[in-house]
Amino acid sequence: MARQILMPLFLASLAANLVAALLDPSWWAIPALLAGWYAADLASGLVHMYMDYRPTPPGKGLDALYFYPGSRESDHYKALWRERMAKVSPLDRLVYDFKNHHPRPDALGRRDLWRLIGSTVILAALPFSVVLNLLAFTGLVPGWAAAGGVALIAGGAFAQYFHGALHREQNPWIVVAMRRVGLLMTPAAHQLHHDTLQRDFATNCGWSNPLVNRLFLAGRRRGWFDDAGLEPTA
């Protein structure tokens, strides 16, 4: 039910912000759009970095899921997954998904749109978009700022979908077109992250990866990103 209501509401709100930007045109909209897209990419990188290295809660049996030796399509695995996930918080479920993605990257590409972006839409994208609606149509922010907000909100909301598209051979034409002009990164560029798990955490366009890489190295020197956090432990 949430999907049928909230997704159309989010898209309508985002479209309204785009209309507000078009009704107050300015050349400043171009740098604002680019800045918003960069900020969304940076957010994807910082969230990805945090989720990869945040330890899962001990004693919840998530290691049994992660290292499960049999078929993940089996009834036994599905029952085990439901039982173990019921013991952890929504945040820890997301943390587990990020870790589980590394040895099984193609699984992310098989997930549907709402599973990939639903939590982001509910917790952040929709509330921010509605606030921007109020600010834009009351004249409290100019059109160029609304344009930047649209880029930031759209890039943030669809970040995990763009991530999933990097692990899917067939994608909609819009994804292919955005890759060709550099607005989305390529699977080859993202593979650099999977090769080491220590660089290139941003998954939208990758523009922010030089900055994110420096932040990761600085944090690692301080002991913030221990390799032990990459996998669930007993």
pLDDT, position 212: 98
Is pLDDT above 70 for 157? Answer: yes
- Report the chain's terminal Cα–Cα distance, integer Å: 36
- The model carries a pTM of 0.92
Is pLDDT above 80 for 216? Answer: yes
Domain ranges of the chain: 2-228
> Across residues 60-74, what is the average pLDDT?
93
pLDDT, position 109: 87
pLDDT, position 1: 61
Tens digits of residue pLDDT in 26-35: 999 999 999 9
> Across residues 16-32, what is the average pLDDT?
97
Phi, psi of 217 (to 5 degrees): -65, -40
- Local confidence band at 14 (pLDDT 50, 70, 90 cut-offs): very high
CB-based burial label for 157 (10 Å; 0-12, 13-18, 19+): buried
